[in-house]
Amino acid sequence: MSSTPRIPFQIFRPNNSYQSAVEKLNGQYEHFRTNVVQKGCIEKLKRWYPNGKAYLTQSATAGLMMAADSIEFAPGDEIIVPSFTFVSALNPFVRRGVQVVFVPANKKTFGPDLDYVQQAITSRTKAIMIMHYGGVPCASHQEITALSDLARARRIVLIEDAATCFGSMIEGKPLGSMGDYGVISFDITKHITSINGGLCLVSSEHDDSNVAQVYHNGTNRKDFERGSVDFYDWHTLGSKYAMNALSASILLAQLESAAEVLGHHLKLSKLYIDHLEDFAQQIARQVYPRKEMLSNGHLFAWIVDDAEEQKALIQFLGDHGIECHSHYRALHASPMGLSIGKKIGDFTFTEQLPFRIVRLPIHTGLDSADIIRIASVIKSFYLN
The SS3 call for residue 259 is helix
Give the dihedral sign, CA 288/145/203/131: negative
Q: Which of 42, 56, 60, 100 contacts ligand PLP by CB under 6 A?
A: 60
Q: Does 185 bind ligand PLP (CB under 6 A)?
A: yes
Q: Is the peptide bond before 289 cis (omega within 30 degrees of 0)?
A: yes
Give the dihedral sign, CA 128/235/209/251: negative
Residues 230-249 that bind ligand PLP (CB under 6 A): none
Cα-only R_g, the chain: 21
The residue length of the chain stands at: 384
Number of residues that bind ligand PLP (CB under 6 A): 15
Report the 10 Å Cβ neighbour count for 2: 12
User: Which candidate, 207, 197, 201, places its Cα nearest to that of 181?
Assistant: 201
> Measured from the CB of residue 198, what is the shortest distance to ligand PLP in angstroms?
5
Q: Does 193 bind ligand PLP (CB under 6 A)?
A: no
Q: Which of 89, 156, 242, 248 contacts ligand PLP by CB under 6 A?
A: 89
Q: Which of 61, 148, 219, 220 contacts ligand PLP by CB under 6 A?
A: 61
Q: Does 59 bind ligand PLP (CB under 6 A)?
A: yes
Stretch that binds ligand PLP, among 40-48, 117-125, 158-166, 232-240 (CB under 6 A): 158-166
> Measured from the CB of residue 74, what is the shortest distance to ligand PLP in angstroms?
25
The nearer residue to ligand PLP, 164 or 220, going by C-beta atoms, is 164
Report the 10 Å Cβ neighbour count for 303: 16
Q: Which of 18, 48, 86, 93 contacts ligand PLP by CB under 6 A?
A: 86
Specify which residues 22 forms β-bridges with. Answer: none
Site residues (vs ligand PLP, CB under 6 A): 59-61, 85-86, 88-89, 131, 161, 163-164, 185, 187, 189, 198
